[in-house]
Amino acid sequence: MPQANGPYHHGDLRAACLQAARDLLEEEDGSAGLSLRAVARRAGVSATAPYRHFADREALVSAVAAQGYRELAGFLAAAH
């Protein structure tokens, strides 16, 4: 059992934040309501944790878009 006062390690915080952002984008049907605070809440981390990987909301949205384009490129390559 982890100690309450020991160091906290999420694992892959960046991936968790990206997945949380994608989930929120699907639920909200767009990025208008997307915030780093909402992503943190969804990922189950502190409100400041996403800032370890994303400078601001724009950086998070850019990372989500880049991930989506990489996935799309993979699907297109597999289809040919």
CATH (domain of 41): 1.10.357.10
Domain that holds residue 54: 13-79
Domain membership of residue 2 (yes or no) is: no
Kindly report, residue by residue over 4-62, the tens digit of the pLDDT. 444 456 689 999 999 999 999 998 777 888 999 999 999 999 999 999 999 999 999 99
Domain membership of residue 75 (yes or no) is: yes
For the chain, the domain total comes to 1
Domain membership of residue 1 (yes or no) is: no
Dihedral of the CA atoms 47, 50, 51, 52 (nearest 10)?
Answer: 120
Domain membership of residue 8 (yes or no) is: no
Domain membership of residue 32 (yes or no) is: yes
How many C-beta atoms lie closer than 10 Å to residue 46's C-beta?
A: 14
| pTM for the structure as a whole | 0.80
